[in-house]
Amino acid sequence: MKSYRQNKQKIKPLASWRRLSVVVVFTLLASALLVKTLDMQILRSEFFERQGDARQLRTVSISAHRGDIVDRNGEPFAVSAPVNSIWINPKVAKDHLDEITVVAKLLSLDAISLKDKIKRNGSREFLYLKRHASPELSEKVMALKVPGVALQNEYHRYYPSGEVAAHVIGFSDIDDNGQEGVELAFDEWLKGHPGKKRVIRDRLGRAFDDVERIKSAQPGKSLRLSLDKRLQYLTYRTLKAAVLKHNAVAGSAVVLDVKTGEVLAMVNQPSFNVNDRKQLKPQATRNRAVTDVFEPGSTMKPITIAAALESGRWKPFYKVETAPGYMRVSGNTIRDHKNYGDLDVGGVLEKSSNVGIAKIALAMDAEKQWSMYQSLGLGVTTGSGFPGEASGQLSLNALSNDFARASMAFGYGVSVTPLQLAHAYSAIAADGVLRPVSFLIDEDRGSAKVPDGKRVMSAKTAQTVRKMMQRVVSDKGTGQRASVANYSVAGKTGTVHKFIAGGYAEDRYISIFSGMVPADKPELVMVVMIDEPRNGEHYGGLVAAPVFSQVMSGAMRLLDIAPDRVSKNQLMNAGSSSQEKSITVAASHAE
């Protein structure tokens, strides 16, 4: 009993001590919490506000790539590749300006200017430092771990064909908005629509955790053009060589598919590398084949003859007296290079007689002449939808002025673009049917189906004009250098004095050739225009016609179009076995 009382007396002081300890601990904890609260809410409130802001939930954009642009065979003209852009949060970075110096040096920026910019935008949370940075540069910058500096995923537009298709494809700006060419014309189709997500960012401004996807990114739709990349390269290379050879100011070339009206190739010189943004200047980037007009010269003569035949006033075998090689019309003189004497209507084309075509035009009704020009699309755009397309000029004043009518008959006083002229010639090639011009493949149309068009002349007239145009490319014509081995060619040369302020320059010319292959059943139409050749030669038959010949020779092989003028000796040498045929086809594809 005594022992129990003694133990109980010992336990009482121990319990009191324990209670006191618990009270002290809780008091200390409460004091610590109070101190911490005072520290966070009063003493260092600004610091913790900044830290909270840096770690808060944010809604950010999810980049969506622009649709690819491909040729008719699926070969790429424009693609988008993922890339990083470096940005900074001035709200965070303004407290770490000493570290910004190193970042500025890496990005080749002026450190003082950058710091000043951060200070001036201290209330903002986003500023770009470097758009579309290389992976190596992005890695070096992020390795510095400077607060407020972060990366954003974007897409960079790349053009594999460079300058070869630059004028047609155009380009987009750094924000992926179409600026020129197809990129601009079909911007809404190609443009991607960004998504949104919620993320948590760390104190350095980097997203380290995705919380929620609000809206998925919608990539742009791909676009399939009618261009054939192989033919585009061939046309570009040949035109560039001709412009350099003749020291010309510029040049354009267009190739159309007769059956569909599709643009298979369109090139210009000088060109520019669309991947180098320093070269993106208005003077260089405009598509001359669509935006620049010129007087077509003698390439108008087949169109005038088509009008004459359609009028019923002229027949192919009618004779035209061109002697003595010149004529007076309304007080003005029209001249030929020499006195050609009497020519039939086809001979007027073959010799490219200005006197002959003027007499043909003046002998028919003025309205019928003008109506044919208008029906073939002169004076209006082709409806291709290409940005900035020019309509050219076709004046109604010519109806009441004989000299204006005569001049228009051989291509003066009327202006066209290379695309317009090719479009007009496509109707002659398509037996009198004018089909719409298109830069796109019609995905819904079967390969055997021909698109609808508008009949502008009879099939007989178109076929007759083509036969006359074949004489132009004969040994006696002005366009013999446009010939294509084993294929019939119908075409017309043109040489015009260049129009300048105050009139026409005596020593500055535009050289043109327009034609089609094969002549009997044309598959392709091509127009070549070379502006101001300055190396001595300036006639269309000497400057522009060889470009047509080289391009069409390659195009026949590339597109596997059968020859229509193979000689008997060639047929005997070629043989008729299936093995030899397969070798020929394989060789044509290899080229």
Q: Which residues are catalytic?
A: 298
Q: Which residues contact 81 (CB under 8 A, 6 or more apart)?
A: 155, 156, 158
**Distances in Å between the alpha carbon of 491 and those of 132, 232, 288?**
49, 21, 22
Check residue 551 and give left, alpha or beta (phi > 0: left; psi -120 to 50: alpha).
alpha
The whole-angstrom separation of Cα 461 and Cα 430 is 11
The whole-angstrom separation of Cα 214 and Cα 57 is 13
The whole-angstrom separation of Cα 292 and Cα 282 is 13
Give the HSE-up count for residue 279: Cα atoms under 13 Å, Cβ half-sphere: 16
Q: What is the number of helices (H) and of strands (E) in the chain?
A: 23, 23
Chain mean position to CA 168: 2
Give the HSE-up count for residue 43: Cα atoms under 13 Å, Cβ half-sphere: 7
The whole-angstrom separation of Cα 171 and Cα 461 is 43
Look at the block and give the residue holding tokens 């051989």. Answer: 410
Q: What are phi and psi of 459, to 5 degrees?
A: -60, -35
Q: Which two tokens stand for residue 21?
A: 């300890």
Contact 152, 87 (CB under 8 A): yes
Task: Tell me if the bond preceding 387 is cis, omega within 30° of 0.
Answer: no
Contact 469, 346 (CB under 8 A): no
Q: Give me the helices (H) in 107-228, please.
A: 111-120, 135-143, 166-169, 181-185, 187-190
- Residue 314 neighbours by CB distance under 10 Å: 17
Taken in order 458, 459, 464, 467, is the CA torsion positive or negative? Answer: positive
Give the total residue count for the chain. 591
Q: Which residues contact 138 (CB under 8 A, 6 or more apart)?
A: 84, 86, 151
Contact 406, 358 (CB under 8 A): yes
Q: Which of 244, 268, 262 is nearest to 168 (CA)?
A: 268
Q: What are phi and psi of 400, to 5 degrees?
A: -110, 10
Q: What are phi and psi of 348, to 5 degrees?
A: -60, -40
Helix (H, G, I), strand (E, B) or coil at 334: strand
Q: Which of 294, 361, 342, 333 is nearest to 540 (CA)?
A: 294
Chain mean position to CA 526: 19
Residue type, 153: N
